[in-house]
Amino acid sequence: MVGTYLDHLTVERGLAGNTLVSYRRDLDRYLRTLAAAGIADLAAVAEADVARHLALLREGGDGHPALSAASAARAVSAVRGLHRFAAREGVTPNDVSREVRPPAPPKRLPKALDVDQVERLLAATGGDDGPLALRDRALLEFLYGTGARISEAVGADVDDLDLGEPGAAVLHGKGGRTRVVPVGRYARAALDAYLVRGRPTLVGAGRGSPKVFLNARGGPLSRQSAWAILRRAAQRAGLDTDGPRAVSPHTLRHSYATHLLDGGADVRVVQELLGHASVTTTQVYTLVTVDRLREVYATAHPRAR
């Protein structure tokens, strides 16, 4: 049944390969829990069995460390999806996992840079006109100017870009979903400089990859290499590259969303720009802007303190 369910996720829902690997691992662990309890058939599972598995995830044991609330929630989500699918397919009479609620992970606000920090980061990619410096500046301008995930940026083809006025890019997101996002003037200028004066040199070292961002050998830039570019720029800009507030591949995406909302953008528009399936995911950024409003109030209003 697990194999059939994973096939369904692959074909019908188009889940990414890494997600499917995680689901398989979570479900294999669940089946081992059931086997240890003498249960070999999903139709024999009771709600208490699912709840017990969740408790084991949080407590750890049998060579498995205790999972955090977020990791346990993901694992239970895989289990609930399996039972929901089994009930819908008639393999089990009902969904016994329906009332088992995954633990709520602590709400963490996304890390975001302020505008001055972003400008320092973008300026720290290097002042020369070499192909790699032009690429690095174009990459970071693209990430901040479009809100793209790092995987969407390195996966973009030259044909996905329209650098005319007003400018747009096609981004290929999670689950096979694509979206078109605007590309601002600064990002267009950086991309144009790279495509005209930098990328041809890199292409000549390789086999003619269609990807926008290339490595020194002319092949597609990897996510790890893109992260290294960001880290080097952050170090040169004097930004945190270690610890809980470290600049990460998602930092520019978080900053993009936060700055849009600070500037008055509607949360539904930001949802579309980020490619979030649910507005609930986007609404966490509104908490960031509320904190910003409190900060401004506390420092500007004569009766705030």
- Active-site annotation, residues: 149, 174, 250, 253, 276, 285
Max Cα-Cα span within the chain: 68
Residues 6+ apart with CB under 8 A from 183: 142, 145, 146, 161, 162, 163, 167, 168, 169, 191
Count of C-beta atoms within a 10 Å radius of residue 254:
20
Interior/surface letters 73-109, b for 16+ CB within 10 angstroms, e for the rest: bbbbebbbbbbebbbeeebbeebbbeebebbeeeeee
133 contacts 127 by C-beta, under 8 angstroms? yes
126-230-211-204 Cα dihedral, nearest 10 degrees:
40
Cα separation of 305 and 303, whole Å? 6
DSSP E strands, the chain: 161-162, 168-172, 178-182
Query: For the CA atoms of the chain, what is the radius of gyration?
Result: 23
Cα separation of 204 and 212, whole Å? 14
